[in-house]
Amino acid sequence: MKNTVLLLGAMMCMQFIVAQSDYTVIKVNGSILLKASGKSLIQGTIFGDKDELQFNTSESRAAVINPGKGRFVLAPGATGTYTAKTSLLPAMANISSRGGSILNQVDLQNHFTGNYVIIGTNRTQISNYIFPMDSTHFFFIRYKYHGEDINKKLPFISDTLIIDRSKLLTVDDKPIPNPDTASMKMYYRKGNESVLLSGFTAVFPNEDELKKEVTLLLEGFKNSSKDEKINQVVSYINEFYGKPDKESVQGWLKVSFGF
């Protein structure tokens, strides 16, 4: 009986050790192969830290999760074969993100710059003292579609600016799949004057795919606090898509995952 208990204990310990060395793929950019099988890493693939991986381009990378260790990024920096363990890099965490109202023009320009993620509807609080919003004072975005400039006046509620993907990407009330370029410019209209504030690259994640990715991510942090889960999701989006608005991500998580 004693030997049986010891054997069961050893087996459970081995299972725990194996689990601790296993990683699940959340998302892959580029092409990464498991050398032993020749199969590509895809979402949901499980591999061990001793497995050899073939990186087909130097830009190939993947987001992976280990329930006991957290989130990592596979990124070799060059093409070739590497063990998974030597390719694991700590993922970005606890990134600085906007909190509260945008109080000045510099804050606004810094907010709407680079790769800017729009998930469904983004809501950004902006000081009415610096940028009042009414019938003669408002923001609009300009982008190109079929070679023509498209100007989209942005709706607002009090001091909150709203960017709704479904309304932004429409022409004559008809949805368009994508503009000619993701490059967009943010303007502020005051009276008869239009002021260019900033330019940014709009990033529109596929929400169905993002939900699958976030589901895997949250599974790895199921014992973490709500704030930690939110921070992990925001950091993941920032690392693999672009700069998110934290409060908008929180709203999306509430609708999609109930918190």
Over residues 9-36, the pLDDT tens digits come to: 433 333 433 355 799 999 999 999 999 9
Over residues 136-187, the pLDDT tens digits come to: 999 999 999 888 999 999 999 999 999 998 899 988 888 887 776 689 999 9
Over residues 42-72, the pLDDT tens digits come to: 999 999 989 999 999 888 999 999 988 899 9
Over residues 94-115, the pLDDT tens digits come to: 555 555 679 999 999 999 999 9
Alpha-carbon gap, residue 171 to 235, rounded angstroms: 33
Alpha-carbon gap, residue 200 to 90, rounded angstroms: 28
Average pLDDT for the chain: 87
What are the structure tokens assigned to 2, written together?
Answer: 């004693």
Q: Helix or strand or coil: residue 131?
A: coil
H/E segment holding residue 93: none
pLDDT, position 12 = 39
Selected residue with higher pLDDT from 222 and 13: 222
- Residue 66 near residue 22 (C-beta atoms within 8 A): yes
The stretch 231-256 carries a mean pLDDT of 92
Residue type, 77: G
